[in-house]
């Protein structure tokens, strides 16, 4: 026991010496010498060795004129030898201890070997992945040495993968075949690229059996990849669909339920987006809270505009849809110009708060950005809420009553003008909410609404006027079809194709996917 401790202490002292001399030699060494010195530093197993090598790789290792090395950190400089805080005499004269590509590669390899010995499984995985990039003999030896000792399953898997990849490069076809077999089930991009290079092309394997095996493996991965690419396309489609649904659902109320064409609907969306922008201006420190608060704020702003539009213009034009269309179109021009006058014609940035940003990487092929995911969920929530309002509340009852038989509703004491204003306000308010969601996906500018108005109408008409479920399904379907076409036709052509298909569809089924039937529908 004592003996062991003493030995350790002695070794440490020796390491200290080895480390110090190697570091001291660094500032004047050539690149080739530096590589050799780096190896010595790593082998010294000095407690500062890892930090120093990492700092060096990052370009943070400096030396003063006297050859004393410092590491640059967040808060200032530290002594490279001891790790203690230190202040160089003249920071301006410090010179970086440079690296070149070859040296950096060597440093990475050394760091990886360090990592392999780390106590943290996560660090070990990182190290194995790092080593996989350049699997030379020493790395393979290190990994093979590590494998029997490794206890963590994930790390073990990574090491096996690395060894299998190394096996692919083996001279013996049998070993390569074995490596391919052992890679079965691994679908990472790395393996895929390696195997597909082996299966065909300029670098194809010399041995036919290996080529076939690699080919079979590639095909199996291909089908898996195309499945997830399909899932990803579906997600993108649903994401686009959720935006369309958000934009269209307010319209489904004003146009679908009330039968009022509101061409200023897009501008109500735009007002919602600008509300999100203004809320962020009001509380710049807390963008997340600002975004959440802008949802009710946008509802109120756009809703108020909606009520005003209904009371001042639309009310006088009931039963004259074409006139309503023109008047509200004029209004949309005025609103656009108003925004241009107040906020300028340039796009305004709306920050994406922390919790909305980032990517959820599900596997090598399939990842989801959080903002799209949240907006998809948000769209469904808004839809459910609206459905609830229409089906379960007394306002909803009155809205449906007025839309079905205005005269009778009036006779039964429903204040139809109040209901009209409230319905229109509701549709407009939802447009505002849609604007908040859009501010997280696209630029906020005066033309924001214009881009969505035709799409929104198409969604409502496609789904069937007066049918909220139709709007949901119609919007989602259009989004998915659009995204399905995009890889073949390109974004613009896909949009054109969808528009043309819609025009043809409406001509075949003028009442949309889910038409209202019966006498009431016939009468209009």
Q: Which is nearer to other proteins, 101 or 507 (CB)?
A: 507
How many Å from the N-terminal Cα to the C-terminal Cα in the chain?
99
Ranges within 427-456 binding other proteins (CB under 8 A): 454
Ranges within 259-278 binding other proteins (CB under 8 A): 261
Query: In 59-217, which ranges are E strands?
Result: 61-63, 69-72, 77-79, 95-96
Nearest-angstrom CA–CA distance, 312 and 304: 12
Ranges within 304-323 binding other proteins (CB under 8 A): 313, 316-317, 321-323
Task: Report how many residues bind other proteins under the rule CB under 8 A.
Answer: 42
When asked if residue 342 is in the footprint of other proteins (CB under 8 A), the reply is no
Would you say 163 and 143 are in contact if contact means Cβ atoms under 8 Å apart? yes
Residue 523's CB is within 10 A of a number of other CB atoms, namely: 6
When asked if residue 29 is in the footprint of other proteins (CB under 8 A), the reply is no
Nearest-angstrom CA–CA distance, 307 and 217: 63
Span from 167-175, 230-238, 244-252, 512-520 in contact with other proteins (CB under 8 A): 512-520
Q: Which is nearer to other proteins, 309 or 436 (CB)?
A: 309
Q: Which is nearer to other proteins, 181 or 500 (CB)?
A: 500
Give least dist CB 328 to other proteins, A: 8
When asked if residue 171 is in the footprint of other proteins (CB under 8 A), the reply is no
The strand pairing partners of 361, in sequence order, are: 367
Give least dist CB 454 to other proteins, A: 5
User: Within 13 A of 293's CA, how many CA atoms are on the CB side?
Assistant: 13
Nearest-angstrom CA–CA distance, 69 and 22: 11
When asked if residue 504 is in the footprint of other proteins (CB under 8 A), the reply is yes
Residue partners of 306: CB distance under 8 A and separation at least 6: 254, 268, 424, 425, 426, 427, 428, 429, 431
When asked if residue 114 is in the footprint of other proteins (CB under 8 A), the reply is no
Phi, psi (rounded to 5 degrees) for 509: -125, 80
From residue 476 to residue 495, what is the string marking binding to other proteins with x (rule CB under 8 A)?
A: ----------------xx-x
Would you say 306 and 321 are in contact if contact means Cβ atoms under 8 Å apart? no
Q: Which is nearer to other proteins, 97 or 314 (CB)?
A: 314
Q: Which is nearer to other proteins, 12 or 516 (CB)?
A: 516
Among 87, 138, 341, 346, the residue binding other proteins under the rule CB under 8 A is 341
Ranges within 456-475 binding other proteins (CB under 8 A): 457-458, 461
User: Within 13 A of 494's CA, how many CA atoms are on the CB side?
Assistant: 15
Nearest-angstrom CA–CA distance, 198 and 179: 12
Would you say 19 and 69 are in contact if contact means Cβ atoms under 8 Å apart? no
Q: Which is nearer to other proteins, 159 or 458 (CB)?
A: 458
Q: Which residues bind other proteins (CB under 8 A)?
A: 261, 313, 316-317, 321-327, 329-334, 336-337, 340-341, 454, 457-458, 461, 492-493, 495-496, 499-500, 502-504, 506-508, 510, 517-519, 522
């Amino acid at each position: 026991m004592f003996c062991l401790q003493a030995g350790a202490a002695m070794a440490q002292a020796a390491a200290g010496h080895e480390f110090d001399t190697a570091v001291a030699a660094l500032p004047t060494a050539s690149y080739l010498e530096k590589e050799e010195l780096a190896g010595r530093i790593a082998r010294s197993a000095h407690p500062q060795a890892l930090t120093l090598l990492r700092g060096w790789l990052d370009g943070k290792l400096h030396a003063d004129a006297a050859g004393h090395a410092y590491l640059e950190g967040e808060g200032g400089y530290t002594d490279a030898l001891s790790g203690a805080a230190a202040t160089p005499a003249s920071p301006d004269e410090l010179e970086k201890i440079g690296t070149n590509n070859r040296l950096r590669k060597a440093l990475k390899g050394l760091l990886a070997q360090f990592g392999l010995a780390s106590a943290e499984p996560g660090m070990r995985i990182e190290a194995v992945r790092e080593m996989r990039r350049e699997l030379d003999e020493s790395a393979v030896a290190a990994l093979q040495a590590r494998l029997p000792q490794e206890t963590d399953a994930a790390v073990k898997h990574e090491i096996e993968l690395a060894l299998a990849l190394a096996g692919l490069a083996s001279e013996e076809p049998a070993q390569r075949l074995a490596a391919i077999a052992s890679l079965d089930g691994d679908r990472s991009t790395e393996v895929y690229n390696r195997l597909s290079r082996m299966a065909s092309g300029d670098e194809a394997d010399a041995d036919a059996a290996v080529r076939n095996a690699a080919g079979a493996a590639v095909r199996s991965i291909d089908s898996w990849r195309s499945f997830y690419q399909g899932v990803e396309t579906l997600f993108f489609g649903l994401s686009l669909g959720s935006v369309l649904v958000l934009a269209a659902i307010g319209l489904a109320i004003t146009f679908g339920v009330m039968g009022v064409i509101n061409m200023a609907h897009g501008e109500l969306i735009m007002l919602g987006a600008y509300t999100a922008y203004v809320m962020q201006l009001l509380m710049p420190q807390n963008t997340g809270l600002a975004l959440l608060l802008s949802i009710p704020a946008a509802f109120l702003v756009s809703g108020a505009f909606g009520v005003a539009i209904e009371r001042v213009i639309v009310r006088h034009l009931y039963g004259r849809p074409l006139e309503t269309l023109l008047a509200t179109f004029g209004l949309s021009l005025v609103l656009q110009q108003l925004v241009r006058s107040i906020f300028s014609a340039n796009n305004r940035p709306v920050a994406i708060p922390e919790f909305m940003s980032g990517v959820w990487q599900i596997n090598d092929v399939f990842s989801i950005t959080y903002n799209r995911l949240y907006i998809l969920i948000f769209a469904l929530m808004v839809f459910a809420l609206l459905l609830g309002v229409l089906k379960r509340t007394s306002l909803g009852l009155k809205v449906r009553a007025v839309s079905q038989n205005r005269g009778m509703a009036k006779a039964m004491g429903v204040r139809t003008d109040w209901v009209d204003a409230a319905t229109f306000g509701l549709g407009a308010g939802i447009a505002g909410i849609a604007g908040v969601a859009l501010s997280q996906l696209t630029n906020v500018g005066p033309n924001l609404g214009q881009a969505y108005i035709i799409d929104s109408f198409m969604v409502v008409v496609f789904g069937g006027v007066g049918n909220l479920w139709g709007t949901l399904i119609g919007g989602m379907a259009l989004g998915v079809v659009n995204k399905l076409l995009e890889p073949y036709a390109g974004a613009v052509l896909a949009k054109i194709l969808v528009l043309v298909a819609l025009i043809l569809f409406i001509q075949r089924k003028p009442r949309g996917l889910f038409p209202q039937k019966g006498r009431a529908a016939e009468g209009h």
